[in-house]
Amino acid sequence: MNKTLKELQEELKSKKTSVKELVNSYIEVIKSNADINATLGFYSDKLINEQIKKAEELFANGKDTALTGIPIVIKDNIMVKGEKATAASKILENFTATYDATVIKKLKEAGAVMIARANMDEFAMGGSTENSAFGVVKNPHDKSRVAGGSSGGSAAVVSYGGAPISLGSDTGGSIRQPASLCGVVGLKTTYGGVSRYGVMAMGSSLDQIGPFGNSVEDVENVYNIISGYDNLDSTSLTKEERIKEQESGIKKKIGIPRKFIEREGVDKEVLKNFNETIEKLKADGYEIIDVDIKDVEKALSVYYVVVCAEVSSNMARYDGIRYGLSVPDVNVIKGYFKTKTEGFGGEVRRRILLGTYVLSSGYYDAYYNKANLVREMLKKEFAKVFQDVDVIATPTSPIPAFKIGEKSQDPLAMYLADIFTVPVNIVGVPAISVPSGKTDSGLPLGIQFIAPHNREDILFTYGKEVEKI
Ligand code: GLN
């Protein structure tokens, strides 16, 4: 059984274990699970020792936080000063971060100990970690299956006990889906709630950083430390903006978009488990309401237009000139092309091409502008539904962990697996995935709760309720 933050804090405070011993014990677990391929390397001894020292000081001065002395694994698209950050891409294979992301700054101040870099889909594009330039992440529950993605490494490492918590990023489901497939808790925060400064941009209007953990309470503790206004992120929400939305209480009403959920392609065991979980909540006094979120299924198409457009723009900076891989040629333009074709994997190139297409003159209105119109419409639809319910519930993923290689040759099938997670990013609201049981063959399943903007508090309440039942 993986230990929670509270249990670890008790061990540290009672001096049953020292911070160093605790950190080393997790490093050993990571080493002995190398075949899962969840991590791409350890952080330098210098950083680890500095943070151990910082944690000891915080304990000595009585200034310790929920994360003091706690080992944490970081998705490899988040910058930690002086350490490698590759986004699991060949193009950044030898890149060293020159500054700390805001979330890292906050973790450092809280006395957390960053121990290892998590494997991921290249630049967070994918849902299985098969797009990593450094090999797929295996699911700890069945090594012939994927751990999900794009934050597959962050989910797997918590699942097998290599770290009590980790950070990931979620642009269209990349925290929630792997959390569900690996049987851990994963939180996608409100857009603007956690600073994006220092995370490598994929789809800038969708990206959010969030935590993985063994319990809802653990994830809540990390959220409390990493969230908050940051003037280095122009989309960051101020405290006033966040509080304004937290005025209403909890109604104990759950909205279920039945038509949306009971669709072709949703696994029978997933549905059964979802319905059983909802029934238990009902027995616990929660009111279940069928809701119709008009056109919610269109979120998937909107997502793949918007994300590709933003990807094509964000990837332009990897030109082999300022940083990253550079494949020179006497002809500058040829060198530029060589850098990109040797540096980027197939999925990244596919999205750059699709994105450039939807942004090209003549198609801009037909695709990109239309997608943004539908996006605005969906925001209003969600707001309407949230007038009557606290949360909208869905299965996190329509299918349990699939076999490695099963979908890697079929990008559309892979994209369809994002059906329940992408609407959340399109609308910018928070959502959590909480383990809700297992399939007959022992694969983890997860339930997703979606709350209005800045209502992570509701997600924690509901998540803890699921843990109880
Ligand atoms: N699977 C989705 C995609 O491929 C989500 C990725 C993400 O959230 N980073 O775009």
3-state DSSP assignment of residue 320: coil
Ligand 1 atom showing the smallest separation from residue 174 Cα: 8
Digit-coded pLDDT (tens) for 316-359: 999 888 888 988 889 988 888 888 888 999 999 999 999 999 99
CA dist., res. 150 & res. 172, Å (int):
9
Q: What DSSP assignment string belongs to 418-449? A: TTTTHHHHHHT--EEEEEEEE-TT--EEEEEE
User: What dihedral do alpha carbons 123, 129, 134, 139 form, nearest 10°?
Assistant: 150
CA dist., res. 430 & res. 209, Å (int):
11
* Mutate which of 78, 418, 448 for ligand 1 pocket (most atoms within 8 A of beta carbon): 418
Ligand 1 atom showing the smallest separation from residue 414 Cα: 1
> What pLDDT score does 409 carry?
86
Token digits of residue 397 = 């993923």
> What pLDDT score does 328 carry?
85
Sign of CA dihedral 459, 460, 465, 468: positive
How many angstroms does the Cα of residue 40 sit away from the middle of ligand 1? 20
CA dist., res. 418 & res. 236, Å (int):
26
Q: What is the separation, in whole angstroms, between the first and last Cα of the chain?
A: 18
CA dist., res. 205 & res. 371, Å (int):
13
User: Is residue 63 annotated as part of the catalytic site, yes or no?
Assistant: no
3-state DSSP assignment of residue 156: helix
3-state DSSP assignment of residue 399: coil
Choice among 75, 105, 106, 108 that is catalytic? 75
How many angstroms does the Cα of residue 196 sit away from the middle of ligand 1? 16
> What pLDDT score does 394 carry?
98
CATH superfamily for 1-469 is Amidase signature (AS) domain (3.90.1300.10)
Token digits of residue 417 = 């697996």
Sign of CA dihedral 120, 124, 126, 132: negative
> What pLDDT score does 245 carry?
67
User: Is residue 89 annotated as part of the catalytic site, yes or no?
Assistant: no
Token digits of residue 39 = 């991590």
> What pLDDT score does 247 carry?
63
| Inter-residue contact 130 to 408 (CB < 8 Å) | yes
Q: State the CB neighbour count (10 A cutoff) for residue 7.
A: 14
According to DSSP, the residues that pair with 75 across neighbouring strands are 118
Which residue ranges of the chain lie beneath pLDDT 50? Answer: none
CA dist., res. 111 & res. 92, Å (int):
28
Which residues have CB under 6 Å of ligand 1?
Answer: 124-127, 150, 170-174, 202, 307, 418
CA dist., res. 216 & res. 294, Å (int):
30
3-state DSSP assignment of residue 321: coil
Q: Domain ranges in the chain?
A: 1-469
pTM assigned to the model: 0.97
Digit-coded pLDDT (tens) for 349-377: 999 999 999 999 989 999 999 999 999 99
Q: State the CB neighbour count (10 A cutoff) for residue 313.
A: 16
Which contacts qualify for 136-140: CB closer than 8 Å, 24 or more apart?
136/37, 136/404, 137/36, 137/37, 137/38, 138/35, 138/36, 138/37, 138/404, 139/181, 139/182, 139/401, 139/443, 140/33, 140/36, 140/182
Strand 431-438, strand 142-146: pairing: unpaired
Output DSSP code: residue 43.
P
User: Is residue 75 annotated as part of the catalytic site, yes or no?
Assistant: yes
